[in-house]
Amino acid sequence: MAFILLLVMLTACAAAPEDLCGQMLVFPEQTSKANVVLTTLEDNFSAATVCFRSITDLRRAHALFSVATSSEDNAFLIFKTSKTNEIEFYVGGKLVKFGEQDYKLNEWQSICATWDSETGLVQLWLDGKPSIMKYIGGSKIEKFTALLGQDQDSLGGGFSSSQSFVGMISEVQMWNYTRSGCDIERYMSEQNYLPGNLINWRSLEYKLTGRVLLNDAQKSCPKRKPYGKGY
């Protein structure tokens, strides 16, 4: 009986995953504090696809998705530089740059990134448009912290306000394998897609620190097709 009671208490204490469908994270100011730690369902990965939707007006450099380990702060990092339309991708501390990316300001966009340690290739997708593939290498990433809003320069910390994210982020998904272009297109066009098996926006454990808020996603209503022939 005491054991059952203890079990009940334990489950009550554990943070339950939440369905954040229709919600977004708002990072309303430049700060070196506000961040969101995302709990992943596995503690290691050797390949990944990360997708999220974001909007910002930042021209300066800012982190979009930061994974750090105790030995490598840029274990897996998607970073917008201050150079127009340049996005950096780090894996295991190694860097590749993607140029001439159509990174929009003041507009929601879908960003996906894939990496596979077997081939060592990385690729970016902005609003479903693929970049070229580039070689980065890398090996298994384990015992990490996945975080939004800041660039980690140490495990879970070492933030700098000049690299912080200001804006909104929604629908973060992460898989421990590379998804196909068709899958990414489905994500982008908000069709039914298989949710992430490392991070699932529809069943997410997370921790908010500092001034960052969960808010309704304020999506515009779907456009009605005009009546006419064929309807």
Q: Does 85 bind ligand NAG (CB under 6 A)?
A: no
The dihedral sign for the CA sequence 104, 106, 109, 114: positive
Contact flags string 157-176 toward ligand NAG, x per CB under 6 A: -------------------x
Nearer to ligand NAG among residue 29 and residue 42 (C-beta): 42
Instruction: Looking at residues 114 to 153 of the shown chain, list those that interact with ligand NAG (rule: CB under 6 A).
Output: 142
Q: Does 197 bind ligand NAG (CB under 6 A)?
A: yes
Contact in structure between 184 and 173 (CB atoms under 8 Å): no
Applying CB under 6 A, which of residues 44, 70, 154, 189 lies at the interface with ligand NAG? 44
- Tell me how far, at minimum, the Cβ of 108 lies from ligand NAG, in Å: 28
Distance of CA 203 to the CA centre of its chain: 15
Q: Does 41 bind ligand NAG (CB under 6 A)?
A: yes
- Tell me how far, at minimum, the Cβ of 156 lies from ligand NAG, in Å: 19
- Tell me how far, at minimum, the Cβ of 125 lies from ligand NAG, in Å: 21
| Cα distances (Å, whole numbers) of residue 142 to 65, 68, 206, 225 | 16, 9, 18, 48
- Tell me how far, at minimum, the Cβ of 1 lies from ligand NAG, in Å: 34
- Tell me how far, at minimum, the Cβ of 90 lies from ligand NAG, in Å: 21
Residues of this chain that bind ligand NAG (CB under 6 A) = 41-44, 142, 176, 197
